[in-house]
Amino acid sequence: MEKKYHPINCNYYDELVLLVMRKKHCEIIYLNEANEQITELAMITDVFTKEKAEYIKLSNNQIIRLDRLISADGKENKLSCS
């Protein structure tokens, strides 16, 4: 069972949207469901909300919940909006 979603920093969300617009392949680092750190090289194709949680979709069809995202394009996901 997935833990309760913790919103990410609003400015960081905006950075992710910019990466979608730029169609840039970048390094994505996140924690999978087993809390293992995973690194992907992919393009972020979408940022979306589903069931009160925010996600990114990668060009390889991987979907990552944003509170499990460590960094994208070298920029760390540090703070919460709340």
Q: What is the pLDDT of residues 6-64, one digit of tens each?
A: 889 989 999 999 999 999 999 999 999 999 999 999 999 999 999 999 999 999 999 99
R_g of the chain computed on alpha carbons: 12
| Through-space distance between the first and last CA atoms of the chain, rounded to whole angstroms | 23
pLDDT on residue 65: 96
Residue 3 confidence class, pLDDT cut points 50, 70, 90: confident
Six token digits for residue 9 = 């920093």
pLDDT on residue 78: 77
